[in-house]
Amino acid sequence: MVRVKFCGITNLEDAAAAVELGADLLGFNFYTKSPRYITPQTCRSIVRELTVTVAALGRPVQMVGVFVNHPPQEVTAILHDCGLDLAQLSGDEPAEDLQRIGPAAFKAIRLVNNAALEDAIQAIPPRHSEPAFLIDAGVPGQYGGTGQVADWKQARLAAGYFPLLLAGGLTPENVAQAVAGVQPWGVDVASGIESAPGRKDARLMKRFVEAVKGTADR
């Protein structure tokens, strides 16, 4: 089964729709410069309200905090305060930060050249849990959310060894091809399912999930 992560959730309506439509992970972005930024207070409220919805589904939904160069102690505090399961480190964090945060933390790797993936894995060994890390497109000066497609060839090589989340320019139109070509543990999408930054479109979310699950079932 290929997991689906809907990232950049900013409100309860979108969060509830995402869960009901089949999302396996929800991402909440705490990077203040992102158009999908959410405060810890709002995130905590959304996660609490979702408890009943998730329980009724009878399947797990992981809540993920997205951080960019936050101090480890701040990441840990937000995880605990908001009731989140995982911490996605999408900045320039060193390996020591993952160690300080603990097993909940995984690293986002932005592919900017042919050596980027190998260098990143050598510098920051992937964790043993799922997902080991996330692969995104590399755009100088930006920390994800660009809508640019990642290097699927490099991602496929990594997916043969590690359970990874594939991000970068995924849409309902191209995600089936991405899943077939990369064979990732899961896929991550934000702008590809939005009507505006931070506002999800239920029809696009539904089409995205159907495309992913249809590919996984073949």
Q: Which token pair is 161?
A: 């060894």
Going by C-alpha positions, the residue among 6, 13, 63 that lies closest to residue 206 is 6
Task: Given the residues 14, 24, 97, 136, select the one marked as catalytic.
Answer: 136
> For residue 74, how far is the Cα from the chain centroid?
19
Q: 87 pairs with which residues across the strands?
A: 65, 105
Catalytic member of 7, 97, 151, 188: 7
Active site residue 136: yes
Q: Which of 198, 203, 204 is nearest to 43 (CA)?
A: 198
Catalytic residues: 7, 136
